[in-house]
Structure 1
């Protein structure tokens, strides 16, 4: 056994408490700088079993020397803290170890896969070509998209330019229409409010041409309808001035129309159009020669209009078309129109169709005078008890007369003014007792002298009759209108009444 050699000559003994030694006799630690030992000293201490521990040295140096500062619990907590720190260090090291193991597994797996791959040049070439084709396709699609977008933008720009051009054309057209309208207003050749009424009524005729007239091309339909409507023309031609007889004929036609409506609406509409044309044809033939017929046809027509409102549009649409003076519209505001074109617009008819000879101004004036008489008759008719109410009003006759007198006088004007007064003059006085005499005074003092100053040879007769009418009113205070019954046909009326 190797002998132990003590390198430190000092011998440490436990102080004897009972010895009564002073504190100076206790061991005082050397200076802090002297606490540091050499490596050889440390090894000797280990051999002696006196391993140097800094914590123990701290306790021995500072705490044990001052028993008041020593805390057993603090020492326990400190040891526990050291154990906890050691435990957490072990856990951290374990976690780090596991993570490295997982990374190693991943790395080993990657190396395994990498080592198992075989570089196939053909496969790589194929993949490269596919990727290249994909890239080329993407480029082509991008180019196509850009081209399409450019074309779209160009088309939109062109469309926008065209739209702007159309808008400009519309504005120009509207401007021309406004100028034309102003020209009409300045020329005083067309009553604009009357023209709007004409368009409203004539829309029904235009609809008829598209929706119902083609039905007549069907032979079976046309044949069946022809049989149904055959009695209409005869019924109208049989009308007389007897109110009850007119009412009886109205009921016959009304029953026929209602039966047609139940069977076929097309046949019903076609018959309404035919009835309007037939009434106006009879007016054109009879009223100019026999003015009292205006009362007969207007009384019959108003009954149909009252019970079948659709008939009003057909009747007035056809009437405005045949007689533009109801608007009134004279078509003399366009200097570019030839005399023949003017006659066409004013609805001149042929006096000889085979020779294509147009009617004279006198015949034209008398025929249109008959149409105005018929219209005035519609406005002034008072229904008998038990008969349908009149949808027309005397106000309509008043409005027409005012429109006519607010426009410049034409050669046809005496025919038109006289037509209103000879049929509706009495009712105008009854309905407008204050205003109508003013109109009559204006006619006698201002309008009649203008008519005489610009006298058309064929307008002499209506001007004279107008003068007689006005003179009679201012002398007698009574408007001498056309009688509802022919003066020489009292025997005929009696026979008709007996037969009825």
Structure 2
């Protein structure tokens, strides 16, 4: 027991000694670590004290150089600002001088323009006075008008255009309207001179015929008749001969008039307007064929073609923009083409070239655009109608190109002339030839339908400023009446009718009411039977079938619906 206690105490003593030694070792280790950390801390503190002083001493010169450079840059910046300010002031001064010079130049040009236009007005008034006097002195005026009506209408159109141009003011280029006025004056001078010569020839011819008739009547009088009593019979006989001389050509023409292909008045209109178009093309031929003007022609072509191709019903503002660009071109104002500014009046004949090109391209849209997208007819037609209102000559050219492209719009079923080749004849009807072969009938009918739709769309377009329509529903009524008075032709008559009625039917119903219903009833009964009779059996009759379906739908629904795609009244 005692031994166990002794061993236990001995073990406790040894354990305590071991623990004490371990604590001493731990303390020594901690002391060493603390000493190392303190040493490291003091070392770092010393470094922190010594390094800034060393850097500041080394960087004094660098700092001075940096400060000098910053000061130099500030001075340079201030000098640059002063230079820029001086240049801006100089630029403003130069701009003010240029603007003042431009203002003075425009004032001088405006004064010159007024003088030149005043001279033009006096000359035009004098020319028109002489023209009226010449017309009043014309013998057998009615007969003369039948051959010279185209030229007289051209004078009237130029007069209307002159009145518009002479009152225009262009603040950017005052001389434009003066130049255009002088160009129109020159055309009026030429036409009045030609008409005057024609009147002189006409009077000479009639006087010669009358003199010959008088001589003949004198030689046939009995010698026993007293001279004093022969004056009245002689005068009566002379008047009779004169009437016979003047009436024979008219009667002969009336007897030969082919009333089954065209109405007499329509043929006169067609002949006049095509003659006018040819004369207009001749007047612009010098400009269009001059090699030195190739670049200008190309720019003017782009000024016409680009806006025309961009016409759409995208928005009212979009359509108005295209109208303004084309209007500015026809007014002779500068227009932007790419990076250039071009003007149709830069060279004599340029304005005429642009006017005719625009009219032709507008009509071609019927084949190119409306043929593919029928709704495209209405924005194009709206632009045509607006330009027609402002530029009557442009409208006349548009009508001429419509008639040339599709003579069925007269209406005129053009016959093949004696000795005329098949190719020339088909081309006169609007057919296309490729590789010497005429196009297929379905393609031809589709193109003609596009042209007819565009023509009809022009008639129902509403002018923006509540002005009278230059070629509106009254012309639509005239056309339908003339068409129904002619015997129909296979396919083409049905194709024309269905397109024309689809576009104009709703508007004509509102305008003419029961009268149009009677016309529609005539088409549904008698005229459709005539169309059936000229349609070969087994030919399929695509246009005839479409016309029949259209008429059946109109009767079933009690009216004709507005055409799809028609612009609303306040679209633009």
Provide the TM-score with structure 2 as the length reference: 0.51
Would the alpha carbon gap of residues 449 and 201 (structure 1) be closer, same or farther in structure 2, given more than 3 Å must change? same
Which residue matches 2:375? 292
Q: 1:479 aligns with which of 560, 565, 571?
A: 560
Which residue matches 2:351? 268
Would the alpha carbon gap of residues 202 and 339 (structure 1) be closer, same or farther in structure 2, given more than 3 Å must change? closer
User: Contact 1:361 / 1:458 at 8 angstroms: preserved in 2?
Assistant: no
Would the alpha carbon gap of residues 173 and 218 (structure 1) be closer, same or farther in structure 2, given more than 3 Å must change? farther
Q: How does 1:378-397 map to 2 (within 5 A)?
A: 378-384=458-464, 386=465, 390-397=469-476
Q: How does 1:186-205 map to 2 (within 5 A)?
A: 186=259, 188-205=260-277
Structure 1 gaps of 5+ residues are 1-159, 165-170, 487-496
Would the alpha carbon gap of residues 205 and 222 (structure 1) be closer, same or farther in structure 2, given more than 3 Å must change? farther
Show CA shifts across 1:411-459 (max 9, x none): 1210111121011111110110011111111111111122223324667
Shift of 1:405: 0.4
Would the alpha carbon gap of residues 289 and 255 (structure 1) be closer, same or farther in structure 2, given more than 3 Å must change? same
User: Contact 2:487 / 2:530 at 8 angstroms: preserved in 1?
Assistant: no
* Cα separation, 2, equivalents of 1:221 and 1:246: 31
Q: 1:248 aligns with which of 309, 321, 331?
A: 321
Check if 1:425 corresponds to 2:505: yes
* Cα separation, 2, equivalents of 1:218 and 1:249: 29
Structure 2 gaps of 5+ residues are 1-207, 213-243, 334-342
Which sits farther off after the overlay, 196-205 or 460-469?
196-205
* Cα separation, 1, equivalents of 2:432 and 2:250: 30
Check if 1:416 corresponds to 2:499: no
Which residue matches 1:377? 457
RMSD: 3.6
* Cα separation, 1, equivalents of 2:284 and 2:264: 30
Which sits farther off after the overlay, 211-220 or 391-400?
211-220
Would the alpha carbon gap of residues 300 and 198 (structure 1) be closer, same or farther in structure 2, given more than 3 Å must change? same
Larger Rg: 1
Shift of 1:365: 2.4
User: Contact 2:407 / 2:414 at 8 angstroms: preserved in 1?
Assistant: no
User: Contact 2:508 / 2:516 at 8 angstroms: preserved in 1?
Assistant: yes
Which residue matches 1:321? 404
Would the alpha carbon gap of residues 172 and 358 (structure 1) be closer, same or farther in structure 2, given more than 3 Å must change? farther
User: Contact 1:303 / 1:388 at 8 angstroms: preserved in 2?
Assistant: no
Would the alpha carbon gap of residues 470 and 235 (structure 1) be closer, same or farther in structure 2, given more than 3 Å must change? same
Would the alpha carbon gap of residues 364 and 178 (structure 1) be closer, same or farther in structure 2, given more than 3 Å must change? farther
Shift of 1:369: 2.1
User: Contact 1:376 / 1:424 at 8 angstroms: preserved in 2?
Assistant: yes
Which sits farther off after the overlay, 388-397 or 408-417?
388-397
Check if 1:435 corresponds to 2:435: no
Would the alpha carbon gap of residues 402 and 470 (structure 1) be closer, same or farther in structure 2, given more than 3 Å must change? same
The structure carrying a bigger helix percent of its residues is 2
* Cα separation, 1, equivalents of 2:385 and 2:368: 19
Shift of 1:235: 1.4
Which residue matches 2:297? 225
Q: How does 1:45-56 map to 2 (within 5 A)?
A: none
Which residue matches 1:368? 448
Which residue matches 2:549? 468
Show CA shifts across 1:129-159 (max 9, x none): xxxxxxxxxxxxxxxxxxxxxxxxxxxxxxx
User: Contact 1:205 / 1:314 at 8 angstroms: preserved in 2?
Assistant: yes
Which residue matches 1:18? none
User: Contact 2:300 / 2:344 at 8 angstroms: preserved in 1?
Assistant: no
Q: How does 1:26-175 map to 2 (within 5 A)?
A: none
Which sits farther off after the overlay, 202-211 or 392-401?
202-211
Would the alpha carbon gap of residues 225 and 342 (structure 1) be closer, same or farther in structure 2, given more than 3 Å must change? closer
Secondary structure in 2 aligned to 1:292?
A: helix
* Cα separation, 2, equivalents of 1:172 and 1:368: 43
* Cα separation, 1, equivalents of 2:246 and 2:450: 38
Which residue matches 2:477? 398
Would the alpha carbon gap of residues 174 and 367 (structure 1) be closer, same or farther in structure 2, given more than 3 Å must change? farther
Would the alpha carbon gap of residues 200 and 247 (structure 1) be closer, same or farther in structure 2, given more than 3 Å must change? farther
* Cα separation, 2, equivalents of 1:263 and 1:223: 12
* Cα separation, 1, equivalents of 2:247 and 2:278: 24
User: Contact 1:469 / 1:480 at 8 angstroms: preserved in 2?
Assistant: no
Provide the TM-score with structure 1 as the length reference: 0.57
Would the alpha carbon gap of residues 244 and 446 (structure 1) be closer, same or farther in structure 2, given more than 3 Å must change? farther
Q: 1:257 aligns with which of 330, 343, 346?
A: 330
Shift of 1:326: 1.5
Which residue matches 1:86? none
Show CA shifts across 1:256-286 (max 9, x none): 2221365445211110011111112221112
Shift of 1:201: 2.6
User: Contact 1:380 / 1:394 at 8 angstroms: preserved in 2?
Assistant: yes
* Cα separation, 1, equivalents of 2:466 and 2:301: 24
Secondary structure in 2 aligned to 1:429?
A: helix
